[in-house]
Structure 1
Amino acid sequence: MTDMININTKCDPNDTDEIKNLHGKTVIRPLRGTTLYIAECNVDTRFGDFHAYVFQDLIGKHYIMALTYGKVKDKEKPFYIRLHSSCVTSETLRGSDCDCVQQLEGAMKIISEKKHGILFYLLQEGRGAGYVGKSRDRMLVQASYDQISTFEAYTVMGLKKDHRHYENIPQICDLLGIGNAKFILLTNNPDKIQAMNDLKLEVISTEPLEFESSPFNAAYLASKQASGHLLRSASHSTLRGKSAPEPVPLFKPTIVPNAQRFIYCASYYLPMKPINDEILLTDKQFYEMFKHRPIDYYINMPNACILHYQALRNNRFLIKIDVNNLQKHEEHCRNDPVCELLTTPYWFKIHVYYDIISTREFIILTHGTVSMSHYPIVRLQMESLFNRFPLRHATHRDRLKQSVQLIVRYGVGIILLLADDGRGAGFGAYAVDRMLLERGEVPHSDAARKTICVDHDANDYDGTIALLQHHCPQKKIQLIMNTSSSILKKKACINALADYKFEVKKWLFLQQEEL
């Protein structure tokens, strides 16, 4: 069990004055360098109870989390730590073209097993270049059919191979009262070891974080090894990489004609992990795979590799596999085409926009081709940074999975990622909300939001729906909502759809409300 540190006692008198609120409770927010303490709360994960300390850099404005496990006050034994950079595509959107989510969950598992450590979660997407840089990197790599690496793409774009910095880490350690502690660093990257040494943090040893590669990240891992990462398996991988399902054209960033605050920066294909072991095939893939042995052969095997299948609209098939049995079958029949089902993703196309007003990226995923003959299924998916972790209960992640299932089965859909936590108020507001609730200072979230002084729903629906119009010009959709009551709760969203003259032809609900 993690102990809660009274972080208010960790600041110098010179940093801030002690201020009392109306109830006489201490409300100081300690500051070290450019790192401001914001809030703290518990995080219930599959690997046990972590405690999250949330900070914000006053120059870059980005948030940093320190997820602690065990007695942080105990500085006598070394801390197992991980410096982890965010990856929205693998941690939120189920992408399988990198190893980031495996490293995140693997590090948390080790820290929980050692019962003493910290995972520092830094919002430094794309090795610090931001998601615009990362998305254009992926577009370049896919357009070249993987003939250039991610690091070569960065060079083409005039970027360094790594723009990350870790100056906040010693400041956070100081705020937590562990600035003089010893650390065991979980990493494959020598640059992180050097960074820790440069910041005068004592790293007594390192432990690797390496996981089995896939056909989608084999080239990426090989490029990491070539750049100096200490990876053993990448050099002798026998996997053949899998390319995007269609050619990816290159284009220069361009304005969105009817919403000129947005710059359309990149588009590329994301291989998304299938849900519930249901694999999607086109009719061409289906007949090619089963032209020598019919699918019933695999269904009727003593240890069935395929449990059942169904035909879907637009000449597609959804196949339910038994992963364990298919993996055993692959050991004996590696060249059997059916083994390809183990590494067949859902292909979604990612579109990345930069907003010159909010200075944030907007992410839209499309599946299939929108046309006048059918109405795309649309989901406005709220993001939660905490849901990027292996939570015991991950509501946002579960809703995304349900939405993906509906879209894949139907064949045409659009997911718009609302990337600000706290219903658009931002991660800082969400973290303070959680802290106030856990401490019993407010009875419910609505009361917390009044205390914080933010709206019930602060999402930028006008900007989001303007981008939806860019991908769905016929303006006739099927809209996914959490429940039927969400129609009343999401007035701002419904009003924005009406303002842009969208017609909701059908409402789809992820959960039925009790009568």
Structure 2
Amino acid sequence: LTYGKIKEKDKPFYIRLHSSCVTSETLRGSDCDCVQQLEGAIKIISEKKHGILFYLLQEGRGAGYVGKARDRMLVQASCDQISTFEAYYLMGLKKDHRHYENIPQICDLLGIGNAQFILLTNNPDKIKAMDDLKLQVIQIEQLEFESSPFNSAYLASKQSSGHLLRSASHSTLRGKSAPEPVPLFKPCIVPNAQRFIYCASYYLPMKPINDEILLTDQQFYEMFKYRSIDYYINMPNSCVLSYQVLRNNRFLIKVDVDNLRKHEEQCRNDPVCELLTTPYWFKIHVYYDIISTREFIVLTHGTVGMSHYPIVRLQMESLFNRFPLRHATMRDRFKQSVQHIIRYGVGMILLLADDGRGAGFGAYALDRMLLERGEVSNSDAARKKICVDHDANDYDGSIALLKNHCPQGKIQLIMNKPSSILKKKECIDALAQHRFEIKKWLFLQQEEF
């Protein structure tokens, strides 16, 4: 991503070498600082009006998402007694598998190979890599943000490994662990879908949506044991705006974050301040497909039982929606789906991580270019021109994985709108083939026929 007049080489470029992180940038995870660094770098570059973000598809420090997921599983199983770097060592990996040889090549293509750069990073390895590649880095600017109870141990381990972080070792935050013990297991074949290897499972602390915090009945009564929730609602500067009781004795509490932070400054030990750091807990399950060599991600929330039908969403991703755009359709749909699942109490999201409706980011980019040039009138025409199906997602494989988490086969299915049922024929056919019974349709937006 470039900002400003790239051909103007008389002043240095602010640049960020950023590695992708699907958990924080797509799934709203708060157990790292990746999305903060991404958005922070974009903010600095836009303010300076002259810079480049190199977005590198090097998940898990270049080891891939399977490696990263097993790292997270090992760390959580140890209750943060081992670090992310120690987990990589236990798996026989280097602490960092990333490479940056294509950066000078891209700079040459942009005509700025001999320009000067201000590098936005905390990572000494990136500084060394730029030096080794003979790129002129004249200054380093750090990207450091407030830690949370879920990434404090992670940031401390980064600091111990040499990252230029000032606050990690001085944090007074108490780390928070997963809601249940995380068992370790060896990768194994999925019995009813043997093209898939079940590689890892761990808990993801997800940032709440619209400042609505979810509590169990035990958490609720413990938090408001000494002062009722009405006390915080009726304060002059209300910390709590409202609350509602959900299925299975759960509570959804709407908070005013600014007022709650001010209250925390005055009454740090008040249990209600815990609402600031209470996430939605989803469990991530990671699979490797030995046929397509792709990774599949399933998020689950709650326990599937015979007395209720889990809410299911097949969530497509757009790479651009990882950036802080004004309009991020896929991200908004993901948030709506999470809200449905949180309110109901049981559900799962299967991430279709290939951009361009399964055809990849290249297909999406060509589609977009043809539309913006005016060579075609719509996306369907663009896809015909580039010889790509309207929807290239692997629904058969995806639904087979879904069956692994919902063996009774009775679900509530989230779709974008009623007409999506007709447009997503391949998806509906795959559900029928795997004997799923859709007990209820849930639509993220309504429309008139």
TM range (shorter): over 0.9
How far the C-alpha of 1:235 sits from its partner, in A, is 1.1
Which residue number in structure 2 is paired with residue 352 of structure 1? 286
Instruction: Encode CA deviations 1:207-246: one digit per residue, 9 max, x unaligned.
Output: 0000000001000000000000000000100000000000
Matched, 1:435 2:352: no
Which residue number in structure 1 is paired with residue 36 of structure 2? 102
Matched, 1:147 2:81: yes
Q: Which amino acid letter does the alignment assign opposite residue 358 of structure 2?
A: G
Matched, 1:411 2:345: yes
Matched, 1:74 2:8: yes
Which residue number in structure 1 is paired with residue 46 of structure 2? 112
If the length of structure 2 is used for normalisation, what is the TM-score? 0.99
Matched, 1:281 2:215: yes
Pairing 1:384-395 to 2, within 5 Å after superposition: 384-395=318-329
How far the C-alpha of 1:439 sits from its partner, in A, is 1.5
Pairing 1:92-491 to 2, within 5 Å after superposition: 92-491=26-425
Instruction: Encode CA deviations 1:412-431: one digit per residue, 9 max, x unaligned.
Output: 00100001111111111001
Query: What RMSD in Å do the two structures reach over aligned CA positions?
Result: 0.6
Secondary structure, counterpart of 1:259 in structure 2: coil
Which structure 1 segments of 5+ residues have no match? 1-66
How far the C-alpha of 1:444 sits from its partner, in A, is 1.2
Secondary structure, counterpart of 2:427 in structure 1: helix
Task: Determine the C-alpha separation between the residues in 2 that align with 1:193 and 1:148.
Answer: 26
If the length of structure 1 is used for normalisation, what is the TM-score? 0.87
How far the C-alpha of 1:161 sits from its partner, in A, is 0.5
Q: Which amino acid letter does the alignment assign opposite residue 196 of structure 1?
A: M
Task: Determine the C-alpha separation between the residues in 2 that align with 1:357 and 1:168.
Answer: 28
Task: Determine the C-alpha separation between the residues in 2 that align with 1:514 and 1:473.
Answer: 35
Q: Which amino acid letter does the alignment assign opposite residue 9 of structure 2?
A: K
How far the C-alpha of 1:514 sits from its partner, in A, is 3.6
Task: Determine the C-alpha separation between the residues in 1 that align with 2:122 and 2:200.
Answer: 29
Q: Which amino acid letter does the alignment assign opposite residue 63 of structure 2?
A: A
Task: Determine the C-alpha separation between the residues in 2 that align with 1:398 and 1:496.
Answer: 25
Task: Determine the C-alpha separation between the residues in 2 that align with 1:218 and 1:432.
Answer: 41
Instruction: Encode CA deviations 1:19-55: one digit per residue, 9 max, x unaligned.
Output: xxxxxxxxxxxxxxxxxxxxxxxxxxxxxxxxxxxxx
How far the C-alpha of 1:447 sits from its partner, in A, is 1.1
Secondary structure, counterpart of 1:82 in structure 2: strand
Q: Figure out how many residues of one structure are paired with residues of the other and give that number.
A: 449
Q: Once superposed, which parts of structure 1, at least 4 consecutive aligned residues long, lie more than 2 Å away?
A: none
Moved more, 173-182 or 128-137: 173-182
Between Structure 1 and Structure 2, which shows a larger proportion of helix residues? 2
Task: Determine the C-alpha separation between the residues in 2 that align with 1:437 and 1:166.
Answer: 32
Instruction: Encode CA deviations 1:45-79: one digit per residue, 9 max, x unaligned.
Output: xxxxxxxxxxxxxxxxxxxxxx0000011111111
How far the C-alpha of 1:200 sits from its partner, in A, is 1.1
Q: Which amino acid letter does the alignment assign opposite residue 496 of structure 1?
A: A
Percent of aligned pairs with the same amino acid: 88
Task: Determine the C-alpha separation between the residues in 2 that align with 1:441 and 1:190.
Answer: 46
Which residue number in structure 1 is paired with residue 18 of structure 2? 84
Instruction: Encode CA deviations 1:284-341: one digit per residue, 9 max, x unaligned.
Output: 0000000111111101111110001010001100000000110000000000000000
